[in-house]
A and B are shown apart, each in its own frame.
Chain A
Amino acid sequence: MADQDLLETDQPLLVADSLSKSYGRIAACRDVSFSLYPGEVLAIVGESGSGKSTLLQLLSGQLAASGGQVSYRMRDGITRDLAALGEAERRLLFRTDWGFVHQDPAQGLRMAVSAGANVGERLMAVGWNHYGRIRESASDWLTRVEIDVARIDDAPRTYSGGMRQRLQIARNLVTGPRLVFMDEPTGGLDVSVQARLLDLLRNLVAELHLAVVIVTHDLAVARLLSHRVMVMKGGRVIETGLTDQVLDDPREPYTQLLVSSILPP
């Protein structure tokens, strides 16, 4: 068992190998390589237009890369090239072993159906066929993301921004994914709600041993959540390293600028 655990954390979960993507003459993403290990949180920071979101879409297989490849270690332990997976396999991966938290909850949720059905959708998609158990699991997850279970039958359009975002997280985590992609999960929320959400995320990530790729322009989010940081500019990774190292002792001029542009509290 111990050997298995060791193997489980010893091998990278997601490997990007010289990924690039160009739109005509514009190179949105150039030569990005890294490995992500189970339980590791990687933050991708950079200004708007630096290629963060393109990279996230490449990693999650939503966009075909112009060059390079992404491989993922499946639950059976075999590492496979994402581009070689069939569409059915990729979509199955997307709704079981992966999560994707959008900046705008309306993109990740079904706004017209109840919170319980939103959380239960992934379970039903993998063949759960018992209403009582689906509902039980949904209430359990609502509790874990600090949403009042009494609101399980309300549609997310009646929820506040912070609740929607937490519901979106619950919806993604219900199938016990190993890897979660997050695109600016705290964007558009006010500061106190942001703090609460980050706190919740940090606990869940540690508790569930999740690997996370989080895209953000907010260095505070990166500092609070991530183990490692990649700084992007003009489609390239210009600096990478442990979070504290990069943020406390930035090497590149651009990173120094980025760090120094945070207002002192």
Chain B
Amino acid sequence: MNAPAYNFAYLDEQTKRMIRRAILKAIAIPGYQVPFASREMPMPYGWGTGGVQVTAAILGPQDVLKVIDQGSDDTTNAISIRKFFAKTAGVATTTSTDDATVIQTRHRIPETSLHENQVLVYQVPIPEPLRFLEPRETETRRMHALAEYGLMHVKLYEDIARFGHIATAYAYPVKVNARYVMDPSPTPKFDNPKMDNCPALQLFGAGREKRIYAIPPYTQVVSLDFEDHPFEPYRFNAPCALCAAENSYLDEIVTDDKGSRMFVCSDTDYCEGRQAAGHHGSMSAAPYKEKAQGEANG
């Protein structure tokens, strides 16, 4: 009766072992999708059930967790996952990219470059990069096994034929370690170059599709392209309206119904850090009004 309601980090130890085995296999074969017995989590599919299971399996009591959703630390998804682990594992949480040891992310890679003692956990909705071209799972598995990736270029070809350039802006397919073609989860293609030769371990969990895959540290990750239509990261041509950053990924925010808009960094921690360091954009509020959110939570 007095048994604790939850094991450390919610999942029971046998489940964690099962997930860890899948993770180890995924690390051993970079980019390969390892099936695992995904559990029901106390949140709906599409809210990061895969990422949460991976995080739960690798989290230790000493870890410091950061959770971002589209680059932001303060959206519903990010806050509830952070609270979930604060409650079930009692680990420290942070919004600072530098201080975190485990970063769970949905749809972005932080702007601050990662270091060797970090693990980046991605939430993945559809792990199979060939899925929309080839609906049969048996067939896509065979294509991966035999490295038949001509079909992936068919998609890029279609983009150019229709739009004149490769219009795929997110979930842009990459080739990992010159072998497996992988879906980098719906991150903007702006983030693709950050995956290449990254010092941090990158883990991908897809809960509904029951797949885990990984990019070990310092692994080659190449975005697919054509010789005459090379890969180009996309970014709005504007500085951040709050911190004036010229090289970060921007969100477009519509500010009225007359066509006005502002562009701000999607990575809130990065933006706040820059503002604290004295950078100001064209629309930033007076400095006394906004204190960096990260310090309050940390």
Contacts and interface: CB of A to CB of B under 8 A. Distances in A.
Interface of A: 87-88, 91, 110, 113-114, 116-117, 120-122, 124-126, 129-132, 134-135, 152-153
Contacts of A153: 161-162
Given A124-B157, A129-B227, 6 more contacts: A113-B158, A117-B157, A124-B154, A126-B150, A130-B227, A131-B226
A114 B228 CA distance: 20
Interface of B: 133, 142, 146, 148, 150-151, 153-154, 157-158, 160-162, 226-229
Contacts of A88: 146
A91 B146 contact: yes
Nearest to B166: A131
A135 B160 CA distance: 10
Q: State the 8 A-B residue pairs at the shortest beta-carbon distance, nearest first.
A: A125-B150, A124-B153, A124-B150, A131-B226, A130-B227, A88-B146, A117-B157, A117-B154
B148 A130 contact: no
Nearest to A129: B227
Contacts of A121: 150-151, 154
A87 B146 contact: yes
A54 B227 CA distance: 42
A100 to B, nearest CB: 16
Most chain B CB within 10 A, of A110, A117, A126, A132, is at: A117
Contacts of B151: 121, 124-125
Given A130-B227, A131-B226, A132-B228, A117 B161 contact: yes
A116 B157 contact: yes
A114 B142 CA distance: 24
B160 to A, nearest CB: 6
A175 to B, nearest CB: 11
Contacts of B161: 114, 116-117, 135, 152-153
